Structures are given as C-alpha cells and as structure tokens.
Amino acid sequence: MAFLKRLSLYIENLNPMRENGIMLKLSNFLHTENESLLSDTLQILHNLSFDRRFREDMVDSGFLQSFRSLLQKRKFEDMVTNILYNLSRDFDLRLRFAESELLSIVMEPLITENNMSVSEELGALIINLTYNPKVAMLNLKALEMEKFVSFVLGNNSLLLYKAMKNMSYIKGAGRLLQPYVPAFVVCLLRCEPSFQVELMEILNNLACLDEPWNDFMLNTNLLNYLTTHLQVSNNEDDIILQLIIFIGQICSETSAPVLSQSGLVKNLCDVFLDRTDDIDIALQSLYAIYCFLLHDATRESFFQHFEKMVYHIVKLSQDFEKGVWTMAEFVLDAICEFEDSKGNFIKSLRFNTYNTGWEGTF
C-alpha cells in the first residue's frame, strides 16, 4: 500500500492504475479494522480524487456511503473531508450527494459540540454542498435551523457565512431563515467588512419577505449603518453594491419617508454618479431609482437631484449592456409618466443624444 501511495502521486501512473481496477480493489479496504491500512487507502483515494475520472468512479462505485460511515471516526474525519471536498467540486457529482445526507452529518458534530474550529476544506465542502438546492433543503430539514444559524453567527468562519448565504438563495429557505433577521442585523452592525458583504447578501435575499424593515432601521443602528457606508468615499464596492440592492428591495410606501429624510436617496444618487462605469452598481442603482419613483417621498427627493442625474441615465439608455439600457429606459419612462415637464426635457435629451451618437459614427 505504501508503494501504491507513492505511485498515485504521479499523473503518468493514473491510466494504468485505472485500467487495472484500482478502485474496486481499494473499496475492499474501506471497511478494514486495520487503521494503518485504512489510512493508506484513504491517502491513495485522496491523491486519485484530483482526477475527474477517479472522482466519477468513486461516486459510481458507492464510495459516498463508505465515506459517510468513516466520518464518524475522528481519526479519519479530516482525510475523508478532504476527499469529499474534491468530489464536491463537480456540479454533476454534487447532485449525487443528496441521498447521503452528508451535509447534515458533517454539520451535526460541529453544532452539537459547538466546535469553533472549522478547517478550510470542511468549510469549502459545506459551501459546495449548499450550492445544490436539493442537497441543502434535505439537510436543512434534518438539522435544527435555530442551532445552525446560532452556530454560524457565533463562529468566526467566513466560509460558514458563505454557506448560509447560499442557503438564503434556495426557494423555501427564506421562510426558515426569516425569524433570524434581527440576529443577522445585529451581527451586521458589529462584524468585519468581509462578513458584512455576506450578511447584506443574506438580508437582500430575505428583503422580499414581510419584515418590518422600517422598525429595524429606526430601532437599531441599521439606518446609521446604511447612511454611513453608502458614501462616495467608501472604497468597498462589494458592500456598496449590496447596500444599493437592499435599499431598492425595501423601498415601499412605509419606508420611503425614512429613506428620503435620512439622506439615503441623495447618497445613492451621489454613488451612482461617481461609479457609472461599474455595470453592476449602475444597474442596481437604476433599479433602486425606479423603486424611488413609485413612492411620493422618495420620488420628491430624487427629483431634487434630477438635473445632474438625467444626463447620465439617458447616456446609460444607449449602453451596450442590455440590462443597463433596459433599466435606464424603464426609469426614463417612469419619470415621463410622473412629470410631464420633465418628460418633454427627456424626449429632447434622448433625441440629441441619439443624433450625437450617429454623428460620431461618420
């Protein structure tokens, strides 16, 4: 076995090993009581798991069930986790993990023992498994959501936050995570910027639910957080983007006065003008502006900045990115609908911009 372990390190040996049925032979040693032999077997499998064909062979040969049993043995837990991480790299193979309930098996001891140490391989494995809606939902039902969320929020692992973010994208998971929105807000206000991006994305995925966002903004420091971070001077573009998405999501007849009075409409307009070259920020800003136009308070606040905004919006309506120019057209049409005088100005500006573009081609 020691010789095979050395052979498995070199790519030129992989084809002969596969042709000689190495996987079938190794499968016989996964249930041995000889710990030294089992350790060598797992090391060989780990070396082979970097090759796509061997990863397929492991899954097709039913190795997942054997790995599931071996996860219960502390001595081999890390080695098995490393192999499973490699297997989870391929999306099609990841789909096969659903029946094995590996996610809940991996998470259970972490939560039960409140283990604050999560290795990079384990965290990455959890992330890969939560990308798959079927796998994640089956395992979410097996785990107690309250324990899972409490564990993640109490753990200083960015990888686990990313896993929880993945779960928030899954249809049906929003309702399971909804009770923990206050806890997410509290954590957002005290954590590091890299964690804030993940938490804001989670909140964005839950923003469409019936939550009293007005109360959260007024009764916590959330409003102060939004106004402080949505600034031109903030160089954290990832956070800026998530804040813009969030403001657009929660804009409603109830929250519009707060968004207006706090200066968030102005801040968003300033950031939009400063970062028009950033496609993602431009697109999400346009959507947020469209939401502003639907409510009296935010519409009035936006119109205070109309003159400096409209030129850039018209320019974006000629953008090569379909999503950007489509959203810009929606915004311009909405302005025309609410304000006839501004509508006439926009029509003239559109005409001049279009003609200027044509003249530039000759």
Rounded Cα distance between 103 and 128, Å, is 10
Rounded Cα distance between 38 and 44, Å, is 10
Rounded Cα distance between 119 and 93, Å, is 22
Q: What is the DSSP letter of 98?
A: G
Predicted confidence at residue 100, as pLDDT, reads: 67
Q: Which residues of 57-91 are buried (b: 16+ CB within 10 A; e: fewer)?
A: bbbeeebbebbbebbeeeebbebbbbbbbbbbeee
Q: Which two tokens stand for residue 311?
A: 């030129």
Instruction: Calculate the CA 353 to chain-centre distance.
Output: 38
| Distance separating the N- and C-terminal Cα atoms of the chain | 74
Counting Cα atoms < 13 Å in the Cβ hemisphere of 96 gives 18
Contacts of 148 (CB under 8 A, 6+ apart): 107, 111, 140, 164
Q: What is the DSSP letter of 132?
A: S
Q: Kindly report the number of other CB atoms within 10 A of residue 210's CB atom.
A: 6
User: CA nearest 102: which of 74, 65, 75, 52?
Assistant: 65
pLDDT by 10-residue block (mean), the chain, 362 residues: 79 85 87 90 93 91 88 88 91 76 76 74 87 68 70 86 87 80 90 91 86 81 93 94 95 93 96 92 96 95 90 83 89 86 75 56 42
Predicted confidence at residue 54, as pLDDT, reads: 92
Predicted confidence at residue 230, as pLDDT, reads: 96
User: CA nearest 161: which of 115, 132, 192?
Assistant: 192
Task: Please provide the size of the chain in residues.
Answer: 362
Q: Which two tokens stand for residue 192?
A: 């590091």
Q: Which two tokens stand for residue 4?
A: 């095979």
The radius of gyration of the chain from alpha carbons, rounded to an integer in Å, stands at: 27
Element (H, E) at 6: helix 2-7
User: CA nearest 230: which of 214, 241, 217?
Assistant: 241
DSSP assignment of 290-357 equals: HHHHTSHHHHHHHHTTHHHHHHHHHHHTT-SSHHHHHHHHHHHHHHHHH-HHHHHHHHHHHHHHHHHH
Predicted confidence at residue 362, as pLDDT, reads: 41
Cβ atoms of 302 and 265 closer than 8 Å: yes
Element (H, E) at 228: helix 222-229
Rounded Cα distance between 37 and 29, Å, is 7
